[in-house]
Amino acid sequence: MRKYKQRKTKPVIERIMEKVVKDDVTGCWNFMGHLQNGYGTIKVGGKFGSPHQVHREMYKIYKSDIPKGLFVCHKCDNPKCCNPEHLFLGTHKDNMKDMVEKGRRNNPYGEKAYYHKLTNKEVEDIRKDTRIILLIAKDYNTTKSNVSMIKNFKTRMNG
């Protein structure tokens, strides 16, 4: 039987820190290794290990285990950052709330949406129009359903 020499791998923290560039201005520790969806990843568990997100590994190393169902969020909003001081635990809801509060939500609305068919002025005019929905829809080249939703404030709340 053939014996294989077991390869010694460096501890995860060493492998991570070899690929970190610290930003003195922001305080971020930017992981410059493999990225997946903008987040640093590193293989854990040897040659055939699985990829783990670097910021989650750093949280576990420096702070504590991550309870099931919780996210490791970034105070700095930088997915490459793995500075433990920039990381905190939160639920999906906490993460989404943080995103909205910091203005990172990419949800174009009204005329900013690429698929818009009516201008904000047209939406305003539809709301003021007292004619029957069928006539309004024909004049604005849209559906009766769309006119009804606009008039009942179920769509285009902000114009």
Tokens matching residue 55:
């910021």
Residue 156 CB burial class (10 angstroms; 0-12, 13-18, ≥19): buried
pLDDT in tens, 78-135: 999 999 999 999 999 998 888 888 877 666 667 776 677 888 899 999 999 999 999 9
Across 51-87, b (16+ Cβ under 10 Å) vs e yields: ebbbbbbbbeeeeeeeeeebbbbbebebbbbbbbebb
Structural domain spans, the chain: 12-101, 110-151
* CA-based nearest residue to 77, from 35, 105, 52, 109: 105
Instruction: Look up tokens 């040659």; give the residue.
Output: 47
pLDDT-above-90 percentage for the chain: 67
Tokens matching residue 138:
């024909």
Query: 12-101 has which CATH code?
Result: 3.90.75.20
pTM of the predicted protein model: 0.62
Tokens matching residue 12:
């995860």
